[in-house]
Structure 1
């Protein structure tokens, strides 16, 4: 039955009570440990055959083996793929640990993992004084990556803080040598490049083991008191750029048309030039072909040339003025009306008076003879 079984009997089976029935509580842990180690460590109270000394040697060996196993297991550690471990032995650099499962001497070696692939960002902001003595709030962010774990750990005491201070110094130097209009409007890219160059020049002599990947110009704002005026200035700058782009687009659209017109005019001029040259060459060839005929019969050739010329002149006009011989009157011959009446209707043919037609023909012949005699006299005078 249980020692604490309920009931009114006087049988008290509590193991924590002594024989006299007095409650003495649970045994002390220190006493238990002393009894256990006393069995392994003390041999004087054992038997006279020395069995206690043998048991003590076995216990110490087993404890040493257990301690060595625990020590060996405690030395294993893992380095991630993106990291490199800086191994320190008694606080002194002792090499780099590659990714994977590694082992070190516990309490002797120390491993500091450094991420070599992660791109870290470091912001910086503040109100700064420009070259033209204006206050401007600037916000920038630098992105960097560790490329040398040993230099990153040992080059400076606090590499992140040192990089932040170098970043602030580069920004303030560049902003202090720039004008406010450039910072707030179109000069941000130039300022960003200058800050990046200045930061690289500060970091390189310290050999911090970092590579500056990029630098972002996050924001730049004027003081609140003049924000409205600068917003208007920025809007005007944007309008100017928009007008310039529109003008360039218009210029690019009009230029091909103008070039087409120029090319067309050049082609027309070239065609006109060739036509005039060919016509002149044809006239020369015609006169050269006419020269032997003129040399053979000058009078007939002159008369024929005159008639051909008059035919060409009369074909280009619809009105002819006829001068009658021996009279002061001049006759008008409406050829356009005559041609029009002839073409109107075949049922009403135009009939001319024979006497009038004879007078007209006589007048034309008279004028022709007079013109011919004048031309002959003029030629003889020249000859």
Structure 2
């Protein structure tokens, strides 16, 4: 029968010991008995041996806890600044599991790979005494963990103040039109150079990656007027670009026209020289004939010249004798009318011939005409 079953009280280990009932043993009594056994094993059971063993065991436990508490881990993007009694050892803890002496060494992890942002914005006075609101943002990375941790009390606040100071200095030495229009890139570079000069004196331990010019605008009260001015400047630039494009398009055409005119002038020059040389040669040929028969030669030259003149002019015959009425005969009109009639007759005959060729009896008609022509020729030969 088990001690905890009904009727098993006599088997209960906490009862009927020494003729009396008792509860569970006290924890202090258990510890005393345990250390007493250790003391006897060490030789004698005296109080001195008991105290020595307890102190030794306690020291071992504390030593193990101290050793285990020295293990720490540094992440991949971090470096640890190792301090010994609060002084820099010049050693950077690398990523991974490492060990330090607790209460002696201290490791401060610093992220040296992530890119951090720091912005600044505010209303500022420009060189030409105009108010403008500028907003810029800086991207940086920690290059020296120890300087970042101990050079200044609050590195982020110091960096923000340095950025604000650099922006205000550059804006204060720049005109408003340059800040609002095409001078932003120059202002951005100047702010970066000025900021690098400031933080180099503080030894904050950061490296500037980039500087972004996010926004620059005039006060809200005059924003509409400045928008119109900026639009006008953009239109000016656009018109200049269009004019330059038109000039680039027109210049080759003008050069081609100039070259063509030069070539035509050169050809005209050569033609005139050749014509003059031809005229000289012709007069040299006429000179012996003129010497031999001057009157005949003069008359022939006159007739040839008049022929050339009248061939390209209108001709009118005028009767100035007889009655007082002036009679004229427009020969050019008559010749034109006659030529037009002749051309009409030719066209009509051509059309008739084509119609006859297309008709069914065209071949017989042609044969008949040929026979008539042969007969006429034979008769003429006989006569």
TM-score normalised according to structure 2 size: 0.70
Q: Which residue of 1 aligns with 2:332?
A: 336
- Over 3 Å counting, the alpha-carbon distance change for 1:110 and 1:235 in structure 2 is same
Runs of 5+ unmatched residues, structure 2: 346-383
Q: Which residue of 2 aligns with 1:40?
A: 38
* Aligned-residue offset at 1:267: 3.1
Residue 286 of structure 2 is aligned with which of 291, 294, 313?
Answer: 294
User: Is residue 2:114 matched to residue 1:118?
Assistant: yes
User: Is residue 2:276 matched to residue 1:284?
Assistant: yes
User: Is residue 2:299 matched to residue 1:307?
Assistant: no
- In 2, the alpha carbon distance for the partners of 1:132 and 1:341 equals 87
- 8 Å CA contact 2:162, 2:198 repeated in 1: yes
Count of aligned positions: 337
* Aligned-residue offset at 1:256: 3.9
- 8 Å CA contact 1:17, 1:24 repeated in 2: no
Q: Which residue of 1 aligns with 2:101?
A: 105
- 8 Å CA contact 2:317, 2:331 repeated in 1: no
* Aligned-residue offset at 1:214: 1.8
Q: Which residue of 2 aligns with 1:80?
A: 75
* Aligned-residue offset at 1:289: 1.7
Question: 1:183-231 deviations in whole A, cap 9, x for unaligned?
Answer: 55555444433332222111111222211122223345555xxx2x433
- 8 Å CA contact 2:39, 2:45 repeated in 1: no
Residue 84 of structure 2 is aligned with which of 70, 84, 89?
Answer: 89
- In 2, the alpha carbon distance for the partners of 1:136 and 1:337 equals 87
- 8 Å CA contact 2:36, 2:45 repeated in 1: no
* Aligned-residue offset at 1:332: 3.6
Question: 1:65-115 deviations in whole A, cap 9, x for unaligned?
Answer: 776555444433333333222211111111222333333223322222222
Residue 236 of structure 2 is aligned with which of 241, 244, 254?
Answer: 244
Q: Which residue of 2 aligns with 1:27?
A: 26
- 8 Å CA contact 1:321, 1:330 repeated in 2: no
User: Is residue 2:233 matched to residue 1:234?
Assistant: no
* Aligned-residue offset at 1:145: 0.8
Q: Which residue of 2 aligns with 1:378?
A: none
- Over 3 Å counting, the alpha-carbon distance change for 1:284 and 1:256 in structure 2 is same
Q: Which residue of 2 aligns with 1:153?
A: 149
- In 2, the alpha carbon distance for the partners of 1:17 and 1:182 equals 104
Deviates more, 1:69-78 or 1:155-164: 69-78
- 8 Å CA contact 1:319, 1:332 repeated in 2: no
- Over 3 Å counting, the alpha-carbon distance change for 1:279 and 1:333 in structure 2 is farther
- Over 3 Å counting, the alpha-carbon distance change for 1:286 and 1:161 in structure 2 is same
- Over 3 Å counting, the alpha-carbon distance change for 1:285 and 1:128 in structure 2 is closer
User: Is residue 2:312 matched to residue 1:316?
Assistant: yes
Residue 140 of structure 2 is aligned with which of 119, 137, 144?
Answer: 144
TM-score normalised according to structure 1 size: 0.70
User: Is residue 2:271 matched to residue 1:273?
Assistant: no
What is the Cα-based RMSD across aligned positions, in Å?
A: 4.2
SS at match of 2:153: coil
- 8 Å CA contact 1:322, 1:330 repeated in 2: yes
- Over 3 Å counting, the alpha-carbon distance change for 1:271 and 1:182 in structure 2 is closer
* Aligned-residue offset at 1:123: 2.5
SS at match of 1:273: helix
* Aligned-residue offset at 1:339: 1.6
